[in-house]
Structure 1
């Protein structure tokens, strides 16, 4: 009989042991969800402005994305117009430099080559005037039309511009190292 009591004791001891891990699993699941909620709370301050805007809007947030898009477009147009003005000014300065060098070319090389320089200066100046007279939207549409007409030339031009920009950046980095 003593042996029967031991086996009964073993089975009773095993039953609570199986129940305890189940309780621990539930607790572990609760801990995991608490950790997730804590992580979400840490990320919440990054989106605080968007959350406040969505809460203030009677819509479900569709209005805020439209406002964001409008602000982004207006900032991009503003930056593009500033860039256009700077580019126009730089091209006008280049035209003046070419015109001034035409006189030197007349004296050193000959009047024929000086006339080439003047015609180049006139072409650069007319390009600057066209650039300054157009709005950003017109320039974008002209660029799209050009890319549609000759995509190979546009891709080649983009590659050349990319190469030149990378060289400029690299030379700037080399100057900073020296």
Structure 2
């Protein structure tokens, strides 16, 4: 066999690095490549976390706006009912309905005026000061939501009838 028998065109495959090697095929330290990969993964996770937080904030802002609108409707309903209560039960009881409507309107204005962070802080403070009330309110809200969902399921049309 002579030097002429081996050409530069022969395929040469470099062996994989030995176990415990500190330099990869390109001559770069493996630890550096691993560190770069870890940094890229951390950056990607951080970006996804930021996107999720932004999306949650948008949903919270939308929910706040809807809650404010619902509270305004409730206050209007109470005001409308107050006139009927005046006629049927007397002005004293109509005044109770008006006071309730005024309280609901005030609460609605407070909700609309605060940003999401302030509302979360207020909720934390309420739970800290009155955990029993917070648990009761959560249970009542859960009951109402369950009833609304159940009534929505009961009114859906069935196929084939």
TM-score normalised according to structure 1 size: 0.64
Q: Residue 101 of structure 2 corresponds to which residue in structure 1?
A: 121
Structure 1: which 5+ runs fail to align?
A: 1-56
2:145 is equivalent to residue 165 of structure 1: yes
Q: Residue 96 of structure 1 corresponds to which residue in structure 2?
A: 76
2:52 is equivalent to residue 72 of structure 1: yes
- The Cα RMSD (Å) is 1.7
Which structure: larger Rg? Answer: 1
Residue correspondences, number? 122
Task: Judging by fraction of residues, say which structure has more helix.
Answer: 1
Q: 1:109 aligns with which of 89, 113, 117?
A: 89
Which segment is superposed worse, 143-152 or 81-90? 143-152
Which digits, 9 at most, give the CA deviation of each residue in 1:95-128, with x for residues without a partner? 1111122112112211111111111110010000
TM-score normalised according to structure 2 size: 0.70
Structure 1 residue 58: Cα displacement: 9.1
Q: Residue 33 of structure 1 corresponds to which residue in structure 2?
A: none
SS of 2:78's equivalent?
A: helix
Structure 1 residue 60: Cα displacement: 3.0
Which digits, 9 at most, give the CA deviation of each residue in 1:56-113, with x for residues without a partner? x893311111111111001000010011001101111111111122112112211111
1:119 and 1:152 mapped to 2: Cα distance? Answer: 26
Structure 1 stretches of 4+ with a deviation exceeding 6 A read: none
Structure 1 residue 177: Cα displacement: 5.0
Q: Residue 144 of structure 1 corresponds to which residue in structure 2?
A: 124
